[in-house]
A and B are shown apart, each in its own frame.
Chain A
């Protein structure tokens, strides 16, 4: 067994000192609890097992160093198409740029609006995050639950005919944004949630999603192309019977990104897919940390992560499938692959399976490789120039992850972004 963890008290308190704990409203109690959780575990340090491949310093330190704001010429997902637009700038709600917070089939409000008495949110706020702290501590999530300044509270009661489109713009060179979204899908409901944009110099998010029986949640996000941004995001989801949870993340650029996804399949016959495609060039560190718990019968989970890395970029994948005793007929799949476009880049992967049921099918695989020479020559022999052939093969490598997006238009949008990035980043 590992030695008892040494709590990083000095750094933790230094960070807490820079923040203000909201005292009013329905969330005060769960925020105070989150702060106590944070103090008990301390912010991540380099010795923590789940931070071995990713130096937490930039995400932990109290100050956010001022960095250049990348010219944002990137359109949000489904730009110009019907959706409920909600815009945050440096983590601050922008009412003028947002639509009225109203959509048939959902109740939507903001975490910052403390005047409302939102019982459903109160009973959910912080609970999935708390459950997700075991067996692996996620201190940055507790930090966000305690101190988030805003976020969306969405209760889905029907099947809205358009997605909720959250757009995170960035304008300040050193804003430290903390957002917490709480989403509850009632039985038989559906929601598509989109997120796009660089968000802030440093972004911390928690999204708790409670998917009731037979409900379906689709999530697609693109983390903005800003080279200097830092982000630690967390998605915690609980899945009821026959429910569906699908999440896809595209990341292009970003100095440091840690995306954690913690899924708990609680009801029989639930389906959870989580996928990511990232492309990084140079000063780029991208970490996907996923924990899927099967706690019911006949559930399916898929983790598909693809990373394209060049010029010293680093990719990390830590993915776990835990099958609890009794979770028979589990179908668990996990693949993490990197395409290293040169010898300077690296991919660090830690796939884990822990199985306590005897009638399950779980597979996992992790590979690192270069462009296939045979395929490259084949394309070139047909007249496709080497750069274009390399791009085609790179997009083909990413395809398995992108295919996880169900909606055809969104998939095409992501493909266009990916090929645009490759066009701009030719060696």
Chain B
């Protein structure tokens, strides 16, 4: 599904190396978690995969299936099936949430040569999906993320994911800013999408999200590299002992 090979990335504006050779493969239907201390490059990895400007890939590759992600535009990556749930979802005044989502769904369908969704069909689908995420009609009508609470923004990300039905989902600290109930709601939304061979890459600081979204594989990232890979028990080890043990172990 997602295959990252020896990925080296630096900031475009300064010659600061952030990723120093990341290797990672997420198989269809699997959930991989990436944990690691602040500044280890976790968010950079998610942005580079999604195509955010400001980063320069100096070495390595990233493929989604057969698609070479790093040489195409962000919208093409999305149409190929990549989805990034943002750590800080962007507020867009003046663009209605519903308009935004319908534009996105149909733009992706068009790019893939599929038929566009009619207004009526779209409305039916989004209402059902919004309901399970406890997103009310008012939130759908309001401008994208404007005036949304932290929890509402994250639920809105999951709604977008549910509507766009990507192959590969990257969740960048989706748990940050969520209370226990909201975390449960978001996790249920993610778990509902865990079928049909979707791959997940869940970036988090904390084990608690992984209580709700059970990972198959856990990676520890530090200083731009994945330094340790293991099963779910690795996350529990971090929870109990922090990163220090693991960092000294590999050092």
A residues with a Cβ closer than 8 A to B are 373-375, 377-386, 388-389, 392-393, 395-400
Is B21 close to A, CB under 8 A?
no
Chain A residues within 8 Å of B116, by CB: none
Q: A377-B52, A383-B75, A396-B93 are in contact. List 18 more A-B contacts (CB 8 A).
A: A375-B91, A377-B74, A377-B90, A378-B86, A378-B90, A379-B92, A380-B78, A381-B77, A381-B78, A383-B79, A383-B105, A384-B103, A388-B103, A388-B107, A396-B95, A396-B143, A397-B94, A398-B94
In the complex, 17 of the A-B residue pairs with CB atoms within 8 angstroms, ordered by the A residue number, are A373-B53, A378-B90, A379-B104, A380-B73, A381-B74, A381-B84, A382-B101, A383-B75, A383-B78, A383-B79, A383-B108, A384-B75, A384-B104, A392-B95, A392-B103, A396-B95, A399-B93
Query: Which of A381, A383, A388 gathers the greatest number of chain B CB atoms within 10 Å?
Result: A383
Does any Cβ of A come within 8 Å of B89's Cβ? Answer: yes
Q: How far is the CB of B83 from chain A (nearest CB, A)?
A: 8
Write the nearest CB–CB distance from A418 to chain B, whole angstroms. Answer: 12
- B164 x A383 contact (CB < 8 A): yes
Instruction: List chain B residues, Cβ under 8 A from A393.
Output: 92, 94-95
Task: Say which residue of A377, A379, A395 sits within 8 Å of B53 (CB atoms).
Answer: A377
B190 within 8 A of A: no
Q: How far is the CA of A382 from the CA of B161 in the complex (A)?
A: 9
- Contact at B75–A386, with CB atoms within 8 Å? yes
Contacts of A389 in B (CB 8 A): 75
Contact B94 A395 (CB under 8 A): yes
Looking at chain A's contact residues, the main secondary structure is helix
Report the number of A-B residue pairs with Cβ-Cβ less than 8 Å. 81
Contacts of B99 in A (CB 8 A): 392
Residues from chain B with a CB closer than 8 A to the CB of A382 are: 75, 78, 100-101, 104, 108, 160, 164
Closest to A398 in B: B94
Asked if A385 and B107 make an inter-chain contact with CB atoms under 8 angstroms apart, the answer reads yes
Q: How far is the CA of A393 from the CA of B100 in the complex (A)?
A: 10
B51, CB-defined interface residue at 8 Å: yes
**Interface readout for B56-82 with A: 1 if CB under 8 Å, 0 if not?**
000000000000000001110111000
Q: Which residues of B come within 8 Å of A, CB atoms?
A: 50-53, 73-75, 77-79, 84, 86, 89-95, 99-101, 103-105, 107-108, 111, 143, 160, 164
Q: Closest 6 A-B residue pairs measured CB to CB?
A: A396-B94, A383-B78, A383-B108, A399-B94, A382-B104, A380-B74
Can you name the residue of chain A whose Cβ is closest to the Cβ of B79? A383
Which listed residue (B89, B90, B95, B111) contacts A383, Cβ 8 A?
B111
With A373-B53, A375-B92 in contact, do A383 and B107 touch (Cβ < 8 Å)?
Answer: yes
CB of B32, distance to nearest CB on chain A (Å):
20
| B89 x A378 contact (CB < 8 A) | yes
Give every chain B residue within 8 A of A381 (Cβ-Cβ): 50-52, 74-75, 77-78, 84, 86
User: Provided the pairs A377-B52, A380-B78 are in contact, do residues A386 and B94 lie with their beta carbons within 8 angstroms?
Assistant: no
Q: How far is the CB of B115 from chain A (nearest CB, A)?
A: 15
Find chain A residues with CB under 8 A from B75 CB.
380-386, 389
Q: Is the CB of A400 within 8 A of B107?
A: no
Give Cα A398–Cα B100 distance, bound, in whole angstroms: 16
**B104 surroundings in chain A (CB, below 8 A):** 379, 382-384
Q: What are the residues of chain A within 8 A of B143 when measuring CB–CB?
A: 396
Q: How far is the CB of A412 from chain B (nearest CB, A)?
A: 13
| Cα–Cα distance between A381 and B53 once the two chains are bound (Å) | 11
Q: Which residue of A lies closest to B91 (CB)?
A: A375
Among residues of B, the one whose C-beta sits closest to the C-beta of A402 is: B94
Contacts of B73 in A (CB 8 A): 380, 385-386
Name the residue of chain A whose CB is nearest to the CB of B52.
A377
- Residues on B with beta carbons closer than 8 Å to the beta carbon of A384: 75, 100, 103-104, 107
Q: Which single residue of chain A is at the shortest CB-CB distance from B93? A: A396
Q: How far is the CA of A384 from the CA of B78 in the complex (A)?
A: 9
User: How many Å lie between the Cα of A380 and that of B52 in the bound state?
Assistant: 9
Contacts of A385 in B (CB 8 A): 73, 75, 107, 111
Contact B51 A380 (CB under 8 A): yes
**Which of B74, B107, B108 has the most chain A CB atoms closer than 10 A to its own CB?**
B74
Cβ–Cβ < 8 Å partners of A377 in chain B:
51-53, 74, 90
A189–B114 Cα gap in the complex (Å)? 54
